[in-house]
Amino acid sequence: MKKNLLIWLSFLLSFNAVTKTVIHAGYLIDGSNDNPMNEMSIYVVDNKISEIVTGYIEPEPDDQYIDLSGYTVLPGLIDMHVHLTSNQSSTSRYTESTSLNPADYAIRSVNNAKKTLMAGFTTVRNLGGSDTVTVSLRNEIAKGTVPGPRIYTAGLSIASTGGHADGTNSLNQELSSDPGPADGIINSPDDAYKAVRHRYKEGADLIKITATGGVLSNAKNGQNPQMTLEEIKSVVDAARDYGFKVAAHAHGSEGIIRAVKAGVDSIEHGTLMDEEGMTFMREEGTYYVPTLLAGAWVAEKALIEDYYPPFVQKKALEIGPQLISTFSKAYQAGVKIAFGTDTGVTPHGDNAKEFKLMVEAGMTEKEAILSATLHASILLGEQENLGSISKGRLADIIAVSGNPLEDITYLESVDFVMKDGNVIISGS
């Protein structure tokens, strides 16, 4: 009987044996704001980091060993503003709402998610997309059905009638309609509550509003306030009831100030932010997600004749080039900054090109990296799980061939990716 029990216990132990991985890191930037370290060993047990040790520790015979001694090792990067269902395109994007089905967006998003992960971005915040496609994509990635980053999705954005995220803008009378809260369109504080509850019902992780006009919507104004202070407050109040954070798309100064006063967690783009807005953001601890890459992209493409519709072209030329200057001022003013690209406006997989623009605008290489690791995890509310290579965090680890503290563009070419303890790119 005892013998049988021992055999059974041995079987259980072998069946439930943990997977231990030892990584030798030549140069470690751990994302915690500490100084980089040379020749470190990282222990990964199952999907979590269990220990970080100075020096190269000899792996045990049963350990999985990964030699990154010739690389710079960093936490998996976090992009706080992507659109996985969108593809960069010219005027064709303005016909997609009448020609594509949810299945089309779903198939497209799978490919875009894979590109994002392969670029070293192991976590993203998806801020607006087609129906509930990114909810389903998030779930399937979590199951391991398809490869992709860990997704926090807002589902449908919340806008006002005719606002930046009103999908019926510019449609003819037969196709246009009067969408309501279920469709993400609000016109009162009561509507705001209902719209947030619909996003909860659909499985969203956070809320995204369009507090002002935008560049790529086919509408005249790209900066006017498009929600009242009371409407935004209602969105935030309802969001808090459901454990949601709120991201606010905002270009114009008045819309930015209203959103910050109402209590949103982040301002996206913030192109025309003035000193008053910066002061409010600093005092309230509101994060700024700058999306410099998108601004540079639309400004460049707007110079091509007929690339955008006339309304869009005018806004892209006016607003796009101003992002760099605003970012520089906000950074110097001490506004908290989290990394975000608005990828989907730009090609998927190019997310890391944002870093170069941030550094060129005056941010240090170290702070740029922290914006996509530590600060992004704080804005997500996931700093206990993500954003650093430290004990107890999820094993999201990347490696590049050079030192991004000396040349930030090394992050544009990632040689190794581990997400949740699983190796995605081996570097070999």
Give per-residue pLDDT as tens, 11-54.
344 444 567 999 999 999 999 877 899 999 999 999 999 999 99
Task: Measure the CA dihedral 96/99/102/107, to 10°.
Answer: -80
Instruction: Of 42-51, 222-231, 233-242, 306-315, give the lowest mean pLDDT range.
Output: 306-315
Predicted TM-score of the model (pTM): 0.92
What pLDDT, on a 0 to 100 scale, did the predictor assign at position 102? 86
Per 3-state DSSP, what percentage of the chain is helix, strand, and coil (rounded to 5)?
35, 20, 40
Looking at residues 404-427, what average pLDDT do you find? 95
CA distances for 139 relative to 145, 205, 417, angstroms: 9, 12, 21
Q: What is the pLDDT of residues 319-343, one digit of tens each?
A: 777 889 999 999 999 999 999 999 9
Left if phi > 0, otherwise alpha if psi is -120 to 50, otherwise beta: which for 125? beta
Distance separating alpha carbons of residues 257 and 228, to the nearest angstrom: 11
Q: Using CA atoms, how far apart are residues 254 and 421, in angstroms rounded to an integer?
A: 44
Please give the share of the chain, as a percent, with pLDDT higher than 90: 71
User: Who contacts 100 (Cβ-Cβ below 8 Å, separation ≥6)?
Assistant: 130
Q: So what's the pLDDT on residue 164?
A: 66
**Mean of the pLDDT values across residues 202-215?**
89
Cβ burial of 194 (10 Å; 0-12, 13-18, 19+) is middle
361 close to 331: Cβ distance less than 8 angstroms: yes
Q: How confident is the model at residue 351 (pLDDT cuts 50, 70, 90)?
A: very high
77-380: in CATH 3.30.360.10: no
Q: What is the pLDDT of residue 12?
A: 41
Give the list of residues 6+ apart from residue 33 with CB closer than 8 angstroms, or none.
Answer: 370, 374
Query: Do 16-75+389-425 and 77-380 agree at the fold level?
Result: no
Residue 315 has pLDDT above 60, yes or no: yes
What's the pLDDT score for residue 395? 98
Q: How is the chain split into domains, by residue range?
A: 16-75+389-425, 77-380
Calculate the CA 124 to chain-centre distance: 4
The pLDDT value given to residue 94: 61
- For 16-75+389-425, CATH gives 2.30.40.10
- Residue 163 pLDDT grade (very low, low, confident, very high; cuts 50, 70, 90): low
Say what the alpha-carbon torsion angle 13, 18, 22, 23 is, to the nearest 10 degrees. Answer: 170
Q: Of all residues in the chain, what percent carry a pLDDT higher than 70?
A: 86
Among the residue ranges 128-132, 227-231, 308-312, 349-353, the one predicted with the least confidence is: 308-312
Interval 63-93: pLDDT, tens? 999 999 999 999 999 999 999 998 876 556 6
Q: What is the DSSP letter of 224?
A: S
